[in-house]
Structure 1
Amino acid sequence: MSRLLMALCLLFSVMSLSSPVLAQGVMKIGVVNLQRAINEVAEGKKARANLESRMEKIKAEVESRRKELETMQESLEAGEMMLSEQALAEKRAEFQTKYVEFQQMVVSSEQEMGLLQNELTNDLLEKLYKVAQAVGAEAGYNLLLESTAVVYVNGVADITDLVITRFNDKK
């Protein structure tokens, strides 16, 4: 939604500033798919691989804790008849504490991964914007739009491949 809003704001501001261009009769418009560019540039692939590696480690830790809780619960259920009320209450309290810690760990892990993904994406997007602006200026475009915000425009050039190539060449 924010991309669409940003694209519309950009469109209106460029159109209001580009009345001399419109008076000349020719306005060169292009689109770029920044999400595809993020996925296809070398830096994006590397960032995604690092993110997936960290996610796998976190998933393994969560799974290990979940199995530990299951074992603890099975032990608690098996020992219900053999334990004294006090020992049973202590085991239940210990299980409850570990369960709450597990839930907090899951939430914390999800937040950490979301923040990391946003950080990587935002950093890469900023770099891609600069490359797209340079490519657009060099090619003489008056307006570049994010292609996911555009449903259809006749005669618009997609410069995504050029942006990806230029970005990879800069590195």
Structure 2
Amino acid sequence: MSLRTTVAAMAAVLSLALPVASSAAEMKVAYVDLQRVLLEVDDGKAAKTRLQKWLEDKQKEIDKEQSALRAEKEALDKQASAMAADVRGQKEAELQRKVMTLAQKWEKSRAEAANKERQEMEPIINKIDQVVASIAQRDDLGLVLEKRDSGIVFAKAQYDISNEVIRAYNSSKKTAAKDAPTK
């Protein structure tokens, strides 16, 4: 390649890179703490309360069954010496099956809780994304980062739009309720 071709290619690359570099230097950036927003918006608080109640009910149910199994084991331990070996073995096997069934129920409850949380939070997160997008459009933000997932180690508080997202989300719900047709 000749010197003239190399210089022309470099000039072309620089002419394309300079506008991009100057626009990147002027780009406005903000961040949002999505986890905090999710816990502080009205819908998020209500969903968290519903999930907590559901979890407490499930835990009470499992605790009740666990107590019954403990009592059954204690009764078996007391009566074990008076039982025939084959009867004792049969009772121990039955108790072990019940313990395994309870463990499976607990695991199923954990999976169900994770699924329930995802179902409760997904529409709220979608609405939060819409609110963030509208704030970004309004304020001409070129980039909005999520505080925890973006790897932000430090950022000035002036770039945090979390409070504004919470206010906008809650006020949009109140406006929608006020504009809804009444019966």
Normalising by structure 1, what TM-score? 0.81
Q: Pick closer, same or farther for the CA change 1:155–1:84 going to 2, 3 Å.
A: closer
Do 1:31 and 1:156's aligned partners in 2 also have CA atoms closer than 8 Å? Answer: no
1:139 deviation in Å? 1.3
SS in structure 1 opposite 2:115? helix
Do 1:31 and 1:144's aligned partners in 2 also have CA atoms closer than 8 Å? Answer: yes
**Map of 2:66 onto structure 1:** 66
Moved over 3 A (4+): 19-25, 153-156
Matched, 1:157 2:159: yes
Mapping for residues 1-171 of structure 1, pairs under 5 Å? 22-23=22-23, 25-148=25-148, 149=150, 150-153=152-155, 157-171=159-173
Q: Pick closer, same or farther for the CA change 1:104–1:25 going to 2, 3 Å.
A: closer
Give unpaired runs (5+ residues) of structure 1: 1-18
Q: Pick closer, same or farther for the CA change 1:70–1:144 going to 2, 3 Å.
A: same
Give unpaired runs (5+ residues) of structure 2: 1-18, 174-183
1:140 deviation in Å? 1.5
Identity in percent: 24
Larger Rg: 2
Equivalent-residue separation in structure 2 for 1:141 and 1:72 (angstroms): 64
Do 1:29 and 1:142's aligned partners in 2 also have CA atoms closer than 8 Å? Answer: yes
Equivalent-residue separation in structure 1 for 2:104 and 2:41 (angstroms): 35
Q: Which amino acid aligns with 2:160?
A: D
Do 1:21 and 1:27's aligned partners in 2 also have CA atoms closer than 8 Å? Answer: no
1:153 deviation in Å? 4.3
Quick one: higher RCO (CA 8 Å, sep 6+), 1 or 2?
1
Normalising by structure 2, what TM-score? 0.76
Equivalent residues, number: 153
1:86 deviation in Å? 3.4
